[in-house]
Amino acid sequence: MTSARQLPTAARRGLATLGLAGLALQLGACMQLPVYHLPEGQAKAQLRTTAAPGTPTLCVNHVNQRLWPDSQDLADIPAGSQVSVGTIYQAGDGRVTYTCKPQVGFTPQAGQRYISVLLVKSSACVVQVLRESPDTPTGLDWEPSLRRSDC
């Protein structure tokens, strides 16, 4: 097998250009997600995205969109039917960039406030969704309708 160091300079430059182009395409794809706007008259819940760094996403009717939280990291989401929430997260050290796009599905209840949490593990990353519940010891509670993302 030929390693990158054995390739001629022109080929190495080509590979580097391809890598940069790929990264640009990837970043471009993230930015091109349309921003979600809650339809007028739609029952709503709220999602806090503080604990899920990256670009927050919402999938409604199999269409992935970008959430745009307010200054308190709260975003309106539709209630009453299944949605999927997640984040597009990137981490890197200047040499390698790690990207993950975890999502989880659930059915938000009108008036309820939820929080999404990104967990970065050694081999994967996952997003958890819980209900905000000030009366419990942790301030959190289960969301019973959790299921696999359908997006």
Here the tokens at position 96 are 């390698």
Here the tokens at position 19 are 């890598």
Spell 73-86 as b/e; 16+ CB within 10 A means b: ebbbbbbeebbbbb
Q: Which of residues 50 and 145 has its CB atom nearest to other proteins in the complex? A: 50
Interface pick for other proteins out of 139, 145, 147, 150 (rule CB under 8 A): 139
Residues 6+ apart with CB under 8 A from 104: 84, 85, 86, 126, 127, 128, 129, 146, 147, 148, 149
Interface pick for other proteins out of 18, 24, 91, 110 (rule CB under 8 A): 91
Stretch that binds other proteins, among 3-11, 15-23, 31-39, 125-133 (CB under 8 A): 125-133
Of all helices (H) and strands (E), which one includes residue 66?
A: strand 63-66
Q: Does 94 bind other proteins (CB under 8 A)?
A: no
Which x/- pattern over 44-63 shows residues binding other proteins (rule: CB under 8 A)? ----x-xx------------
Residues near other proteins, by CB under 8 A: 48, 50-51, 91, 93, 96, 98, 115, 117, 119-122, 128, 130, 132-133, 136-142
